Every structure is written in structure tokens, then in C-alpha cells.
Structure 1
Amino acid sequence: MSAALPPRLARLIRQDVQGMHAYAVQPSEGMVKLDAMENPHRLSPALQRELGERLGAVALNRYPGQRVETLRQALATYAKVPEGFDLMLGNGSDELISMLAMACDVPGASILAPVPGFVMYGMSAQLQGLKFIPVDLTPDFELDERAMLAAIEQHQPSIIYIAYPNNPTANLWDDAVIERIVQAAPGLVVIDEAYQPFASRSYADRITRHGHVLLMRTLSKFGLAGVRIGYLIGPAALIAQIDKVRPPYNISVLNCEAALFALEHADVFDEQAAQLRRERGLLLERLAALPNVKAWRSDANMVLVRVPDADRAFQGMKARGVLVKNVSKMHPLLANCLRLTVGTADDNAQMLQALQTSL
């Protein structure tokens, strides 16, 4: 618990900021860490040595330069950015979301997103002083098309976020519904494909149909959560304007080199993603066999489950050395829900045992 600010300092900090809760990261030392949708696989010793040599040779005394442009071009090739489109880099998707709010902060601007969803959509709006319009999903976590279209008509949002698939529910929404939302949008639509390596389909092949749609991805779920590289794809003229609010040198030389190294070994990370997709299928089968547990289908490296008592199950699993995410207080639709990251076969076995014992 942080100490209260002295009045002379408190008056300098916005009241809404003082009333916010900081993004919480759970202590995880010594735990089977399955709370943050991280890739559980580390590099092989040989690749660790190779990467270490490259990072050791980086000129840490210089600001990031042309090498960042090399990364931008490498990502554009990897993501198959179409002609007439461009790509900009962020320090993770979080920074891209903040930059979008900053760039679109015109009088009356607002941001709309389905909820429950990624918390940074609403947080970025609040921090930029923009109105955030949450629209509830259906009880089974599908898009409520009627509610979404009504909210769009009423509020005329500057930005609509569509997570594809969604966090924390892990599902892909109906493409026809998404297209009708895109067509109704008066401003930008950002398709957030953070979990694309695990999804059964992508929006990428449809991005050229609309001049107001942006595609956002990250290398975090590719396997580089610690490297903090996000990227935004869209029409070149639109990306050029948003890129003006990007801080200079926002990608460190070390992060840049690590990302380039990973792209050169994309086959290693693709195989890791394939393993996690296989493990996800096995995990869903075993969850389906547990009494009093409901698991939703997943197109991500996480599974949302509902249990009789989420607080009890979470604490019981934690006591048994397994850390997951208790999302039951995030939104009324998530009552008694836990979010389980898909790990290695051994991780998942320990998680299932801890969950079963803790029910």
C-alpha cells in the first residue's frame, strides 16, 4: 500500500489518476507461472549463446538508428504488409494503444470496445482524457451486435477496438458481425491480433477492404514478452500521421536486435506455437472431464474457465505453487472465472492437478 501524498503534492496529480489502480503484476517467484499468457519455452543453449554474442556487440552508447528501420522492414516482410500500407513500431501494444488515443484526441473524441476485454483500451482513454464506451458481450462472450451498433450510432466513437481473439475470453468473434461493425464505424477500427500465432484465422487478408481499419500485433505472444515489440499496420497515409506522436527512440537497441534475431529463427517460434496449440487441445479435453468446471473454446494461448468459487480455487492453486489469473472481479460476466495460460505439458498437468484439488 503506497503512502498518501502530502496535500501540496496531491494537488499536482489529476484526481482521476489518484483514484486509479496501477496495473498489477502478481509475484511469481518459485511458482508455475500461468497467469500472463507468456510462451513457456526458452531458447536452446546454442541460440542463447548466439543471441548473447549479438547483444554483446550492440553499441549501447548510441541511440537507436538504422537498425530499427531494418526491424521495421523485417516485420513488414514477415507480416506481408500489402502495397500502399505501412507499419509502425511500439514498445509493446500498450504504447501503440496510448499513441492512438493521443493522436485521435480531438474535441468530442471517444473510444469504444466490447467488455470484458483488454484493460488498456479503457485505461488509455482515461489517461488521455477521452470518453470510454464499454459495450457488454453476451453472457457467452459473443459480440452483442445490436448493442454495439446502437452504441456506435449514439456515440460516434473515434476508435473502436476489436480484439481478435479476445482477452480474457480467448474466443474469435463472428466475422459477419465484425464486418457490419466495421462498416458502421465513423472512425478508426483497430483489430487487435495479439494472439494471432494461436488463432485459427486472421483479419490480415481483409485489411485492404477498408481505409479506416488498422491491424495491431505484438511479438509478445510470438515468444518475446520480455522484449516489448508491438506493431501497427494500416494505410500508409494514416500510419504516417499516427507515427508523429511516437517518441523518438522508443525501441531500444537491445530489444531491436533481439527481435531481429527471433525473426531470423521464426521457424523455432512457429514450432513452439504449434506445440502450445496442441497442448491447448489436450488441456480443453481434460478440463471438459472435470465436474463443475466450464471451459470456453479458445483461439489463444489461454483458456477461460468458470468454477464454483473462483477465489477459493485461485488461492488453493496458488498454495500448491500454480499461479493463474483470477478475473472474476473484472466484470460481472466473468463471475467465478479464472484465466489459465497454456503452458508446457508438465505445467498443464500441475495446473490441472492443483485446480482439481482446489475446487
Structure 2
Amino acid sequence: MTSTASTDSTVNALIQRRIRQDVQSMHAYNVQDSKGMVKLDAMENPHRLPAELQEALGRRLGALALNRYPDGRVNDLRQALAAYAGMPEGFDIMLGNGSDELISLLAMACDVPVAPGQPKPAILAPLPGFVMYAMSAQLQGLDFVGVPLTADFELDVPAMVQAIETHQPAIVYLAYPNNPTANLWAEADMVRVVAAAQAAGSIVAIDEAYQPFSSRTYLDVIRANPAANANVLLMRTMSKFGLAGVRIGYMVGPKALIAQVDKVRPPYNISVLNYECALFALENQEAFAAQAREICAQRATLLGALRALPGVKAWNSDANMVLVRIAGEGDPAQKVFDGLKARGVLVKNVSKMHPLLAQCLRLTVGTATENAQLLKALQESL
């Protein structure tokens, strides 16, 4: 036996003995290779910082003491984000290395041991939805309960209420707007689901990742009726704000509840580079707000153009993405995806994620030039 073969055998035996079986059967989160492509697959803000702001940020980051652990400056960011979001009275704020870390930490904090013979704690969310909700449950050894949306991607409120009553979940996730469908659910439907969760003793995590492009925020509902929303945590991210590479997520909620979840947060989870970039962005938030307004304007133009194409259905969007369904026999979404990619445009094929998404692609809203390239490639690929 060669040395390499011996090493492989030892490693494989170690994996089988020490790595969880469910982890072995999982697939890692896939990031598509976008080199040389018009990148419209990941809901990123397509605009870079203006040159003068790039230069100012570079000087600021260059002066940081990278030899030291993050310090109290991180609390300056917490205060700045609380002010930016208009955090309600009696709430506190917790930071994460992107929203993904907050989702994982919340599952960790809510993994309550159960008596023998009792069902495991569960995480519940509408489907189709953000994949990290289910993944966080699986990684933490919790059950995941998915409740299908309606055919038009609205909340099935009776089904949600029934599932909450039956499963008594630890956490209910509501993405507002939803990913990948990009729509905002009716406020009255959200209120009913939150009330059902409160009656069941469930935490509701409302994920407002796409808030910069949304026409509403659930924070207004929370401010209007704090008691009815005492079980609600609200998450946001600076990724869609324009800092996807910086990895800053934040979660606000009642102080006592945030204090408990914060106990499982790793120390120094926000680097000095990350928090200084985020503070700089908040100090120059009008530049990012202007970018968001431009993206919303481009979204309206893109939606109009998509709806003029035969064989394409485009849903309304309150995010920086548009969900489309491609008509045709066989696997039209894959055919169009391949056609776009061959023409240098990368989007997300979500047609296999859930039966409700059959024949669907998710398109990120780009710049005017990028959207024109997308539309041209789409027309040629249909």
C-alpha cells in the first residue's frame, strides 16, 4: 500500500467514526464560479464606492491597529446601527458575522434538551425560503418544519397557524421580503402568524435582509404594538446595503431576549476591519441610499421589460431580485440558464429548490448596462 493510499484510508476511517452521519450526507453551500461573467446570481449591490470614498476608507483602514483584538469601537457600531434602524425603546442589538452567523447562533441558543420520548425542538419557516433556516436546524440537531406558500408565494396563514400549534417550534422564521420569491407578505397575515407563535411560546425571527429596497418594514408594526411583538427578533444585514464583502449582520429585539442569545456569540466575532468599514458606510449612508434608489428604479425598468417578453412570467419584487418563470416543455429554466451563461450572464437557477419554483430563475437587479446585457441574452436564449 502506498503512503498516499494509507493516508486516504486513515482519513476515511476517521471521517466515518468521528464526523456526524448527517453532515457526511450534506452538500456544502455552493458558490457559482463567476469569473468573467455579468454577476447577477447573488443579490449583491452592483455599485462600488465612489473613488473619493474608496480613498478615504483606505486611509482609515490603513491606520487601524491590526495587532490588537477588536475593542470597544464595536459598541460604536452597535449604537450607530441602532440609530440607523430606529431601534424601538426597550430593545437591544446584537452583531453577527453576516446574518448567517446570527441564524446559527439563534439555533444554538434555542436547542433546549427534551425529555426522553419527546420530539426535538423545531425550527419552522415557509417554503420556498432561505436555505440557511433549514441548514441551521440540521446542524444543531433540531427538526425543521417547512410550510408551503400558496401558488402565488403568499403566506398560507391557516397552514402556518396549524403547524405552529402542532409543532410548538422554538423559532419561526419569516423573511420580509422573502428569498427567492422577492415579495412582501400582507401585514395582516404576518400579524396573525406572530400572534400564533406568541401563543405557542415561539420566537419569531423576521429577516429583513432586503430592507434597503423594500416598501415596508415590520419595525413599524413592532413600534405600534410592542406587547403583541414581545416574541419577535428582527434581523438585517449590511450585505444588501452595499457591503456584502464586509459580513455584518445585526439583530434587534427585547433586551432580555437579546442578552440570552448574545451569550453564545463567540468573542471578537466582528473584526476591526469589518466594524470600521461598517461605521464608515453609515457615516456616508446617503451614498448607499442613492445606490438603493437607483437599484429600485432599475428594478421597475427590468420588470417592465421582462413582462414584455413572451413565455416569461415575472413576479412583483420588494428586493433587489426578480423571480421569473420560463414557459416551455422539458426543463426550460435549465435551458435558459445555460443560454445566459453561454452569453456571459450568470443568474440563479432555483427551479429544483422546491416544487413551487418549477421552471423559475432568480435574477439580481444590476446596473442599467448589466440589465441590458441580461435582457439581450435572455431574448436570445428563450
If the TM-score is normalised by the length of the shorter chain, which range does it land in?
A: over 0.9
State the partner residue of 1:92: 98
State the partner residue of 1:112: 124
SS state at 2:14 partner: helix
1:315 aligns with 2:327: no
Counterpart selection for 1:6 from 12, 37, 62: 12
State the partner residue of 1:301: 320
State the partner residue of 2:365: 342
TM-score, length-scaled by structure 1: 0.98
State the partner residue of 2:51: 45
1:178 aligns with 2:197: no
Letter in 1 for 2:265: R
State the partner residue of 1:157: 169
Q: Aligned equivalents of 2:35 and 2:146: distance in 1?
A: 35
Q: Aligned equivalents of 1:10 and 1:51: distance in 2?
A: 47
Counterpart selection for 1:273 from 289, 292, 302: 292
When structure 1 is superposed on structure 2, of 199-208 and 59-68 the one drifting more is: 199-208
SS state at 1:22 partner: coil
* Cα pair 1:111 1:158 within 8 Å, conserved: yes
Counterpart selection for 2:268 from 245, 249, 252: 249
TM-aligned CA deviation for residue 83 of structure 1: 1.6
* Cα pair 1:199 1:300 within 8 Å, conserved: yes
Q: Aligned equivalents of 1:178 and 1:92: distance in 2?
A: 24
Q: Aligned equivalents of 1:43 and 1:8: distance in 2?
A: 47
Counterpart selection for 1:54 from 48, 57, 60: 60
TM-aligned CA deviation for residue 207 of structure 1: 2.0
* Cα pair 1:207 1:215 within 8 Å, conserved: no
State the partner residue of 2:136: 124
State the partner residue of 2:351: 328
Trace 1:135-154 onto structure 2 (pairs within 5 A): 135-154=147-166
TM-aligned CA deviation for residue 38 of structure 1: 0.2
TM-aligned CA deviation for residue 44 of structure 1: 1.1
Q: Aligned equivalents of 1:6 and 1:235: distance in 2?
A: 46
State the partner residue of 1:202: 217
Kindly name which structure, 1 or 2, has the bigger radius of gyration based on alpha carbons.
Answer: 2
Q: Aligned equivalents of 1:131 and 1:175: distance in 2?
A: 27
Q: Aligned equivalents of 2:309 and 2:203: distance in 1?
A: 42
Q: Aligned equivalents of 1:58 and 1:193: distance in 2?
A: 31
SS state at 2:251 partner: strand
* Cα pair 1:96 1:232 within 8 Å, conserved: yes
Alpha-carbon deviations, 1:315-354, whole Å to 9, x = none? 0000000000000010111011000000000000000111
TM-aligned CA deviation for residue 146 of structure 1: 1.4
State the partner residue of 1:291: 310
TM-aligned CA deviation for residue 145 of structure 1: 1.0
State the partner residue of 1:217: 236
Counterpart selection for 2:207 from 173, 178, 192: 192
SS state at 1:81 partner: coil
Q: Aligned equivalents of 2:359 and 2:220: distance in 1?
A: 37
Q: Which runs of 5+ in 2 are unaligned?
A: 1-7, 115-119
Letter in 2 for 1:253: V
Alpha-carbon deviations, 1:33-56, whole Å to 9, x = none? 000000000011111110000000
TM-score, length-scaled by structure 2: 0.92
Q: Which runs of 5+ in 1 are unaligned?
A: none
SS state at 1:6 partner: helix
CA RMSD of aligned residues (A): 1.0
SS state at 1:89 partner: strand
State the partner residue of 1:358: 381
Q: Aligned equivalents of 1:223 and 1:253: distance in 2?
A: 18
Q: Aligned equivalents of 1:269 and 1:45: distance in 2?
A: 14
SS state at 1:35 partner: coil
SS state at 1:190 partner: strand
SS state at 1:82 partner: coil
TM-aligned CA deviation for residue 10 of structure 1: 2.2
Structure 1 consecutive aligned stretches of length 4 or more whose deviation exceeds 6 Å: none
Alpha-carbon deviations, 1:20-74, whole Å to 9, x = none? 0100000001100000000000011111110000000111000001111111111
TM-aligned CA deviation for residue 356 of structure 1: 1.1
Letter in 1 for 2:93: L
Letter in 2 for 1:202: T
Q: Aligned equivalents of 2:16 and 2:243: distance in 1?
A: 38
SS state at 1:11 partner: helix
